[in-house]
Amino acid sequence: MNNENYKLETILSHMADIGGIKDIYGASHMPIYQTATFDLKKQGEDPYDYTRSGNPTRDSLENLLSAACSAKGTILTHTGIGAIALLLETFLTYNSKVLIDRDTYGGTYRLLKYYKEKLNVNLVFADFRDHDQVDNLLSDNSITLVLIESPTNPGLKIIDLKAISKLTQKYGAILAVDNSLATFASQKPLELGADISLFSTTKYISGHGSVIGGAIASNKTDLLKRLRFVSNAQGRNQNPMDVYVVSLGLPSLPVRLKAHEEKALVLAKWLEKQSCVLRVVYPGLESHPDHELAKKQMKYFNGVMTVDFDSIELAEFTVANLKLFSEKCSFGTPDSRIEIPGKISHASFSEEELLEIGIKKSTVRISVGLEDVMDLISDLQGVFDEFRLLQTNSLGK
Ligand SMILES: Cc1ncc(COP(=O)(O)O)c(C=O)c1O
């Protein structure tokens, strides 16, 4: 099936055709080829020999994701952080320099600190909204890899991917964009000039909180060749069963993102009006400093926001007492989640590092699910009322 003219929604709904690998019975959804080995009949020319190196279920989803990401190739990994590890393993050598934002997912930061110890990798920090600063840092051509998120997690800053890719191209650094929060349905980093787009499929892509996975995609044949070699050599490829579970979420990705966004926007606007809330950071809000860029760059704003409460006590009370938002890590699931970043997703940051990116102990990260938004609002309202009552009662004693 020639997919050149199809829109994303069509591509995602036709895995069996777009994936390009025909099941012998014409199954409408690619089945799970749960096998370690395949017949070796043609002495080295068989399409498959060993699942670590290749598997029809995995190839089919990789092909589909390549079409969705405008990539020449995609590699599926066991986890999202596994995709980042594959990137670092492939391109970093002793003393390499990596340019990143401090406002980066905690697991990525922990991994980079590991490479700092293991390979003496230098971590250079930049605020990617300051293009002059980035130009300056890249200008001596010593940076090997630039790794960015947009929106950043947890600060939700929006980075101008086109502008940054112009700079990395000017100085010959590899630009990799972690697209876990936005997803390719919202923005396609490779079309904006990035060399590599990678993401966790654990979140919005699979969409149901039922599997862990990652993907790394590129439109550069030489980079893909190196990534594929390391992935196979180190056994980083995702197993067929998990690939299949990831694939189940894809057709509904655009409609889910739209629904997450609609609910998140209503909730964010309501939260902004609460006297106990000091700040709501959500790219879909006009008050977000990068709102105009977000509108230009992203199709959906999704369901993740950060919220500053007026006290640590209220933040902790809210997280502990909500009924519909559970205290869990991760985001992009049908159920809403809430967490204090410093305790869970960004536990690898020190208090000072978190403060540097504007995350306080009274900051929570919320992932708005697919519930009825009025139910979510009454849950929050109930907890705020209960907290106020407890405070009034303790003052009266
Ligand atoms: C921005 C970002 N990138 C990568 C990851 C890692 O993905 P995984 O948990 O699937 O390993 C996460 C996980 O939360 C994330 O938030």
Chain segment 186-198, per-residue pLDDT in tens = 999 999 999 999 9
Substitution site in 202, 205, 302, 339 for ligand 1 pocket (most atoms within 8 Å of beta carbon)? 202
Q: Which of 147, 153, 150 is nearest to 103 (CA)?
A: 153
Residue 280: both structure tokens together: 């709501």
- Report how far residue 49's alpha carbon sits from residue 47's, in angstroms, rounded to the nearest whole number: 7
Chain segment 127-179, per-residue pLDDT in tens = 999 999 999 999 999 999 999 999 999 899 999 999 999 999 999 999 999 99
State the closest ligand 1 atom to the C-alpha of 214, by its place in the atom list counted from 1. Answer: 10
State the closest ligand 1 atom to the C-alpha of 212, by its place in the atom list counted from 1. Answer: 10
Instruction: Give 152 Cα–ligand 1 centroid separation in angstroms.
Output: 12
Classify domain 253-396 by CATH number: 3.90.1150.10
Q: Are strands 143-149 and 97-100 parallel, antiparallel or unpaired?
A: parallel
**Minimum CA distance residue for ligand 1 atom 16:** 105
**Minimum CA distance residue for ligand 1 atom 8:** 80
Cα(first)–Cα(last) distance of the chain, in Å? 73
Please state the rounded mean pLDDT for residues 56-80.
97
For residue 181, pLDDT over 70 is answered with yes
Q: Do domains 8-252 and 253-396 have the same CATH topology?
A: no
Instruction: List Cα–Cα distances, 255 to 1, 204, 211, 341, 350, in angstroms.
Output: 24, 11, 20, 28, 38
Instruction: List Cα–Cα distances, 278 to 60, 265, 272, 306, in angstroms.
Output: 47, 17, 8, 11
Residue with the larger pLDDT of the pair 358 and 115:
115
**Residues with a CB atom less than 6 Å from ligand 1:** 79-81, 105, 107, 149, 153, 178, 180-181, 200, 202, 212, 214, 330, 345
DSSP 237: B
Residue with tokens 């699979």: 206
Instruction: Give 201 Cα–ligand 1 centroid separation in angstroms.
Output: 8
Helices and strands (H and E) in the chain: how many: 14, 12
Give residue 397's pLDDT: 65
Give residue 333's pLDDT: 98
Give residue 1's pLDDT: 59
Which contacts qualify for 13-18: CB closer than 8 Å, 24 or more apart? 13/251, 15/60, 15/61, 15/64, 15/247, 15/250, 15/251, 16/60, 18/63, 18/64, 18/67
The answer to whether 214 and 77 have CB atoms below 8 angstroms apart is yes
Tell which CATH architecture fits domain 8-252: 3-Layer(aba) Sandwich (3.40)
- Report how far residue 127's alpha carbon sits from residue 134's, in angstroms, rounded to the nearest whole number: 8
Q: Where are the domains of the chain?
A: 8-252, 253-396
For residue 23, pLDDT over 90 is answered with no
Give residue 299's pLDDT: 98
**Minimum CA distance residue for ligand 1 atom 9:** 80
Chain segment 232-279, per-residue pLDDT in tens = 999 999 999 999 999 999 999 999 999 999 999 999 999 999 999 999
